[in-house]
């Protein structure tokens, strides 16, 4: 790892002042679970780290039925899991966070860092850049693409968005607050994620000198949620596909269904096709199955990841069935 300067400001304004306007020389340090390993691997080579864990306002979590849930960016996954209000009102968030099956990750990893962690694509992690280029050509289509994208993969980006929390946050209609030199802005979580189209572009709509400060999740009583993911290992591992679902039942039929897939595309992947299949219908196994099929109808698998189409379909189906079976 290359030597670096370490700053640990106590105020948000000070932290933003320490961040330059271009990527590279400086990185925001939250729990460090992703960033520090990327630094060890020479994937990130910052000359300065700006630790944001000393900034008190980033570490608050509040809930009220009117305002919903506000999660400060440096709230850890463990703190999220242990919170009574989250347990009571947001079971889907609990399900998603529990998927990080490592006590070390839960204790150190922050909710903001979880959303902004970099992709796990093994070409990227081995130094070939986010677009996995060698001599201007992507290594993915003819390479080892068994863990790569099956949707939104027209190129040049083939990696999958790694966040576990994003799909359920999107399904719940959550927003993120970003602070930069010119003040604050708010984005739906979906809009935080972008598919890069050229070298140098990141996979987040976040300026180098912006800090993600808070995640806001509306309170929607009566909404049922579920997350279902499929992975090779039960122990620490990355899912091959996951699906988050939020829906209501009214007079025996489904209303306002939201279906968002994870780990299948360079961004979290909402499926309006699945949502249309569900809207106004009576829940059943066949319906869930049809929604699963609709969700992957447009999939364009690569040479070695066709099986992920099936897994995504099953994840959607099982998440829907699980949400329907839940109370509330």
Ligand X SMILES: Cc1cc2nc3c(=O)[nH]c(=O)nc-3n(C[C@H](O)[C@H](O)[C@H](O)COP(=O)(O)OP(=O)(O)OC[C@H]3O[C@@H](n4cnc5c(N)ncnc54)[C@H](O)[C@@H]3O)c2cc1C
Angle between helices 307-325 and 285-296 (to 10 degrees): 140
Which residues are registered as beta bridge partners of 175? 188, 216
Cis peptide before 79 (omega within 30 of 0): no
Site for other proteins in 159-178 (CB under 8 A): none
Q: With respect to other proteins, which residue has the nearer C-beta, 63 or 124?
A: 124
Residue 103 makes contact with other proteins by CB under 8 A: no
Residue 322 makes contact with ligand X by CB under 6 A: no
Q: With respect to ligand X, which residue has the nearer C-beta, 57 or 142?
A: 57
The residue within the footprint of other proteins, chosen from 84, 221, 234, 327 (CB under 8 A), is 234
Site for ligand X in 91-130 (CB under 6 A): 99-101, 105, 108-110, 112-114, 116-118
Which residues are registered as beta bridge partners of 245? 226, 259
Q: Tell me, residue by residue from 70 to 89, as one string, x for binding to ligand X by CB under 6 A and - for no binding.
A: ---x----------------
Nearest to 214 by CA among 182, 195, 189, 245: 189
The residue within the footprint of ligand X, chosen from 86, 93, 160, 211 (CB under 6 A), is 211
Cβ neighbours of residue 50 under 8 Å, at least 6 residues apart?
7, 8, 9, 15, 18, 19, 26, 27, 28, 29
Cβ neighbours of residue 250 under 8 Å, at least 6 residues apart?
none
Cβ neighbours of residue 12 under 8 Å, at least 6 residues apart?
55, 57, 58, 179, 211, 213
Q: Tell me, residue by residue from 54 to 73, as one string, x for binding to ligand X by CB under 6 A and - for no binding.
A: -------------------x
- Residue 95 CA to residue 91 CA, distance in Å, equals 6
Q: Tell me, residue by residue from 239 to 278, as one string, x for binding to other proteins by CB under 8 A and - for no binding.
A: -x--------------------------------------
Q: Which does 304 bind (CB under 5 to 8 A by kind): other proteins, ligand X, none?
A: other proteins
Q: Which does 128 bind (CB under 5 to 8 A by kind): other proteins, ligand X, none?
A: other proteins
| Residue 12 beta carbon to ligand X: minimum distance, rounded to whole angstroms | 10
| Residue 297 beta carbon to other proteins: minimum distance, rounded to whole angstroms | 18
Please return the burial class of 59, using the count of CB atoms within 10 Å of its CB with bins 0-12, 13-18 and 19+: middle
The residue within the footprint of other proteins, chosen from 123, 158, 159, 164 (CB under 8 A), is 123
Residue 237 makes contact with other proteins by CB under 8 A: yes
Site for other proteins in 11-50 (CB under 8 A): none
- Residue 5 CA to residue 272 CA, distance in Å, equals 46
* Radius of gyration from C-alpha coordinates of the chain: 19
Residue 307 makes contact with other proteins by CB under 8 A: yes
Nearest to 229 by CA among 97, 87, 99: 99
DSSP tag of 254: E
Nearest to 189 by CA among 202, 201, 206: 206
- Contacts with other proteins by CB under 8 A lie at 1-3, 101, 120, 122-123, 125-126, 128, 134, 139, 142-144, 146-147, 230, 232-238, 240, 304-305, 307, 310-311, 314
Binding region for ligand X (CB under 6 A): 27-35, 37, 52, 73, 99-101, 105, 108-110, 112-114, 116-118, 164, 211-212, 236
């Amino acid at each position: 790892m290359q030597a670096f300067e370490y700053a640990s400001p106590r105020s948000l304004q000070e932290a933003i002042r320490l961040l330059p306007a271009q990527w590279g020389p400086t990185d925001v340090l939250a729990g460090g679970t992703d960033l520090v390993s990327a630094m060890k691997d020479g994937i990130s080579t910052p000359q300065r780290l700006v630790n944001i864990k000393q900034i008190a306002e980033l570490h608050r979590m509040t809930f009220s039925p009117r305002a919903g849930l506000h999660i400060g960016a440096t709230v850890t996954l463990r703190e999220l899991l242990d919170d009574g209000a989250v347990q009571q009102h947001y079971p889907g968030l609990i399900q998603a966070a529990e998927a990080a099956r490592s006590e070390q990750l839960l204790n150190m990893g922050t909710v903001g860092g979880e959303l902004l962690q970099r992709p796990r694509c093994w070409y990227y992690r081995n130094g070939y850049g986010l677009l996995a280029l060698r001599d201007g050509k992507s290594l993915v289509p003819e390479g080892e693409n068994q863990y790569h994208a099956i949707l939104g993969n027209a190129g040049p980006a083939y990696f999958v968005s790694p966040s576990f929390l994003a799909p359920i946050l999107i399904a719940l209609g959550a927003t993120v607050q970003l602070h930069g030199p010119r003040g604050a802005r708010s984005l739906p979580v979906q809009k935080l994620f972008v598919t890069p189209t050229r070298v140098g572009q990141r996979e987040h709509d976040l300026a180098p000198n912006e800090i993600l400060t808070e995640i806001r999740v509306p309170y929607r009583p009566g909404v049922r949620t579920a997350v279902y993911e499929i992975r090779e290992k039960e122990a620490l591992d990355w899912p091959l596909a996951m699906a988050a679902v939020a829906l209501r039942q009214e007079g025996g039929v489904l209303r306002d269904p939201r279906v968002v897939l994870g780990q299948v595309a360079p961004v979290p992947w909402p499926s309006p096709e699945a949502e249309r299949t569900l809207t106004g219908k009576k829940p059943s196994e066949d319906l869930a199955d049809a929604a699963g099929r609709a969700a992957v109808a447009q999939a364009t698998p690569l040479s070695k990841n066709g099986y992920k189409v099936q897994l995504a379909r099953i994840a959607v189906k099982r998440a829907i069935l699980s949400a329907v079976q839940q109370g509330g």
